Amino acid sequence: MKIKTDVLAKIKEQSLKQLNVNEAKRRNIYIDTEQLSSDEVLVAGHQRIELSRDTALVFEDLAPQFNWGHPCRYILHDSNTGDLYDSVDAEFPPDLKEPRESLQVFHKPVKQINWMKEKIKKPAVTGRLANALTNALGTRYAVLFSGASNNRHVNDIEFLYRTLVDIYGFNPANIYILNHDGTVNYWGVPHPVVSWPGDNTAYRMTVNGQGTKAAFENILDDLRTRLTLDDFLFIHMNNHGGHDGTQSYLCTYSGSDYLASDFAAKLATLPKFATLMVMLEQCHSGGFISPIINNTPALTTHVAAACREDRGSKGGADFDPFALDWIAAVNGAYADGAGLHLVVDSNSDGRISAREAFDYANADKHPYDTPVSDDKPDDYGNYIFLGLPAHDLYIRDNLDDTGQEPLPAGGMSASPDVIVYNQQLLDPQGTLGTADAMAQAGLGELVEKGQDNFIYLRVQNRGTSACAGTATLYWCPVSTFPTPGSWNLINSIPMSIPSVSPGEIKIVGPVVWPQEQIPETGHYCFVALLNSGDDPAPDPSTISSIDDFYNFIRFNNNATWKNFNVVDMFAGTVNQFEFHIQGWPRVAYTSDLVIDIRELPAPVEVHLRILKRLTEGSTLAGLELEEESSLYRRYLVTTSDKATAQNMPLKPSDDSQATLEFTLPDEAPDGAYYVSVSQRISGKEVGRVTQMIVVGNHPFIANHNSSSRELHRNGCIWADRIARHNKVAYTQLERAIKHGYDGCAYCMPELHTR
């Protein structure tokens, strides 16, 4: 029933009189022209407002430029007399999904800001970037959600949809859109829904269903059957949100709340996949961040939200300002084509990360917006991107490396793709580029002093177009922590990498390491850097800390490190390898040493010789002191797994040599066995020395402790008399002769010279 005109006039007059000057400037006030009966209940989000009599409703919006929920007030008048009888504070308007047509504004000093026009007033300083890489090697999916939508929420999603498809090449079939009533529709003005205000063209996105919790979780159920370890998922939530006193929730078209805990629990049911990027616009959206971070099944995750858990997000006439800026940052322009007025690519690497997009939207934030973000692992938002690369040459850090940035797992100092030979290969591609060869980490030979050595690289392209480039190689002494100051340039002129097609494996090189540049010791670490197009090689001069060094290798797929040695041995013999433990220039650190002998054949005997001061005060596990001198200690490794020395004190620029000695059991079967020593600082592996021991019936046995330095054929009666500590195995006769061994007078008279 319509309320009488004179009663409405009385109520309006009373409502305005109660406001002071500031309140009158900041509040929009509505009145319902239809009488509400005494048995009605007003629904205001979680609140149920019961009426004690026939009522005329005045609704005060206390923050008209915000999304819901935000502070508002229900002022209740007697519909017959116009007298005020109650006032109720709330956070939502009546019937959020479909507001009453009879609720009409009569005082509107505050208007929604047209943020697009505001952007045009500012000069553009940067253009669109074309090379925005993604971590994911597999399929990219996106879920865009808005429940009880206003026009601005639908417009945000359309802008985001166009950006994903036009700029980043997402397959539209892999973009799920849930909005309002299941169409490109919303409540409020302008109506009818005709064109997108970005460029006044028709909406292009296809809405797949209503903006409800059930529809959203159905999509996650579908993705649960699709996502693989290489895939990427982007989720955007928009429209309105609230807080129930315990946690944040998202408003939906059905009227039910989608609690942050419910969403996170559903997210946790997804299988492991590569990368999750989330952008949230609704009020109280910051309350979703911790549940997402704590339940993400992705290897890397970044979440950006328009506001803190306890705050509302700003709205606008056509777009929400935080969402508009975030999307413009990854797009390179605003919805109407206006350029960006702040630099987004803060590190000038030619691509926009999740962190850079958030920083742009945060730097350009509007009054009362409180953007927040988080990532897992820490700082990985700098390495999460939306798009596929035009090209992306990479070289592996380990056999499981697929070029993902950052490297998700595995060692980073035993690259299988830096391979040394003592002579040039006749068919490098056929030797090193087959599927069987790509699965091997120990190809190649030890560096040989006294001759040129030849270094080959295995390069792949995970991009979408062919690309050429260059490679630069460095060497340094074998170490568990080679600082850039110890690197020596091998090729002063970068090696040319011919065009590599998408998905192709190309063997490049060799880089010739001239004999006059090779020092005496025969074990080395190599660093290889690739440079191509808009993906430049990282600069070693930027490394000034341990974290810089760690990130240099792990966070760049065009930089790798190798210290992998291959040694031939006989069962029952003794071998050792030396390595350096290094500190950082000008900084003292504590470091952990990890000795991994899990793959050695049992019962192997292992000893560690290490500088005494490094183990004084450190915590040892699996190490038993055998003897010590004034400078060194010798330990027996008492575990068959991993032995550790934790919290070793390293001086600035420390560089000490340690030795690992192992005696293989007599019954060790033929095969390849691995032993490694790694160094960790603050839980991060910053270096590793790996040695592969090839046990077998090698054809030649040398005695490195005799004055005659005799070389025997395996089976010679004199070879059996060599002590196990002095046996050296050779598979090639030429290599043994080159190392100064003389043929046995009994079994090799033709090579006996002394």
State whether residue 661 is helix, strand or coil: strand
Co-location of 372 and 485 in the same domain: no
Co-location of 440 and 556 in the same domain: yes
Q: What is the pLDDT of residues 31-51, one digit of tens each?
A: 999 999 998 999 888 889 999
Asked if residue 466 lies in contact with residue 501, where contact means CB atoms within 8 angstroms, the answer is yes
pLDDT above 60: residue 136 = no
- pLDDT over 90 for what percent of the chain? 64
Q: What is the pLDDT of residue 127?
A: 62
From residue 189, give the alpha-carbon distance in Å to each of 149, 152, 324, 702: 11, 10, 19, 90
Co-location of 267 and 344 in the same domain: yes
Q: What is the pLDDT of residue 455?
A: 96
CATH, residue 375: 3.40.50.1460
Q: What is the pLDDT of residues 584-624, one digit of tens each?
A: 888 898 999 999 999 999 899 999 999 999 999 899 999 99
Question: Of the residues 383, 414, 447, which one is the last residue of a structural domain?
Answer: 383
Distance, in Å, from the CA atom of 698 to the CA atom of 505, rounded to the nearest integer, reads 33
710-713: strand order across its sheet: 727-730, 700-703, 710-713, 742-743
What confidence tier does 521 reach under pLDDT thresholds 50, 70, 90?
low
Nearest alpha-carbon partner for 395 in 429, 419, 377, 379: 419
Q: Which of 312-321, 582-591, 744-753 has the lowest mean pLDDT?
A: 582-591
Distance, in Å, from the CA atom of 678 to the CA atom of 670, rounded to the nearest integer, reads 26
Q: What is the pLDDT of residue 567?
A: 84
103-107: strand order across its sheet: 84-90, 72-78, 55-61, 28-32, 103-107
State whether residue 269 is helix, strand or coil: coil
- Whether residue 136 lies inside any domain: the answer is yes
Co-location of 535 and 588 in the same domain: no
DSSP code, position 218: H
- Taking the CA atoms of 693, 695, 699 and 703 in sequence, report the sign of the dihedral they define: positive
Report which of residues 448 and 424 the model is more confident about.
Answer: 424
Co-location of 235 and 204 in the same domain: yes
From residue 501, give the alpha-carbon distance in Å to each of 225, 386, 461, 464, 597: 31, 22, 6, 8, 40
Average pLDDT score over residue span 363-369: 71
pLDDT above 90: residue 191 = no
Distance, in Å, from the CA atom of 528 to the CA atom of 489, rounded to the nearest integer, reads 10
- Whether residue 482 lies inside any domain: the answer is yes
Asked if residue 658 lies in contact with residue 608, where contact means CB atoms within 8 angstroms, the answer is yes
pLDDT above 80: residue 314 = yes
Q: What is the pLDDT of residues 564-574, one digit of tens each?
A: 677 889 999 99
Distance, in Å, from the CA atom of 320 to the CA atom of 336, rounded to the nearest integer, reads 15
What confidence tier does 403 reach under pLDDT thresholds 50, 70, 90?
confident
pLDDT above 60: residue 130 = no
- Whether residue 272 lies inside any domain: the answer is yes
- Whether residue 325 lies inside any domain: the answer is yes
Q: What is the pLDDT of residue 261?
A: 97
Residue 134 sits at the vertex; the CA angle it makes with 129 and 135, to the nearest 5 degrees, is 150
Average pLDDT score over residue span 364-383: 84
Reading the block at residue 153, the tokens are: 């929420």
- Whether residue 62 lies inside any domain: the answer is yes
Q: What is the pLDDT of residue 609?
A: 97
Reading the block at residue 299, the tokens are: 């290897």
Q: How many domains does the chain have?
A: 5
- Taking the CA atoms of 553, 557, 561 and 567 in sequence, report the sign of the dihedral they define: positive
Question: Of the residues 541, 562, 583, which one is the last residue of a structural domain?
Answer: 562
β-sheet bridge partners, residue 511: 455
Question: Of the residues 676, 695, 714, which one is the last residue of a structural domain?
Answer: 695
Co-location of 41 and 163 in the same domain: no
> What angle do helix axes 354-363 and 321-331 make, rounded to 10 degrees?
130
β-sheet bridge partners, residue 300: 275
Co-location of 681 and 716 in the same domain: no
Co-location of 368 and 400 in the same domain: no
Report which of residues 405 and 727 the model is more confident about.
Answer: 727
What confidence tier does 123 reach under pLDDT thresholds 50, 70, 90?
low
CB-based contacts of 434: which residues, under 8 Å, 6+ apart? none
pLDDT above 80: residue 544 = yes
- Whether residue 28 lies inside any domain: the answer is yes
- Relative to beta strand 41-44, strand 28-32 is unpaired
Q: What is the pLDDT of residue 226?
A: 96
What confidence tier does 189 reach under pLDDT thresholds 50, 70, 90?
confident
Q: What is the pLDDT of residues 202-228, one digit of tens each?
A: 999 999 999 999 999 999 999 999 999
Rg of the chain over Cα atoms, rounded to whole angstroms, equals 34
Q: What is the pLDDT of residues 451-503, one digit of tens each?
A: 899 999 999 998 778 889 999 999 988 777 778 888 999 998 999 999 999 88
Query: Phi and psi for 614 in degrees, rounded to 5?
Result: -75, -30
Co-location of 336 and 466 in the same domain: no
Q: What is the pLDDT of residue 404?
A: 79
> Own/partner pairs for 97-105, CB < 8 Å, 24+ apart?
97/148, 97/187, 97/253, 97/255, 98/187, 99/187, 99/188, 100/32, 100/34, 102/32, 102/33, 102/34, 103/30, 103/31, 103/32, 103/57, 103/59, 104/30, 104/31, 104/32, 104/33, 105/28, 105/29, 105/30
Co-location of 409 and 537 in the same domain: yes
**Buried b or exposed e, range 467-478, using 16+ CB within 10 angstroms:** bebbbbbbbbbb
CATH, residue 419: 2.60.40
pLDDT above 60: residue 698 = yes
Co-location of 190 and 339 in the same domain: yes
- Whether residue 139 lies inside any domain: the answer is yes
- pLDDT over 70 for what percent of the chain? 96
- Whether residue 388 lies inside any domain: the answer is no
Report which of residues 289 and 120 the model is more confident about.
Answer: 289
β-sheet bridge partners, residue 658: 579
What confidence tier does 137 reach under pLDDT thresholds 50, 70, 90?
low
Instruction: Supply the mean pLDDT for the chain.
Output: 90
Q: H helices of 366-485, where?
A: 428-432, 435-438
Report which of residues 350 and 749 the model is more confident about.
Answer: 749
pLDDT above 80: residue 245 = yes
Residue 453 is part of which domain span? 393-562
Predicted TM-score of the model (pTM): 0.72
Co-location of 682 and 581 in the same domain: yes
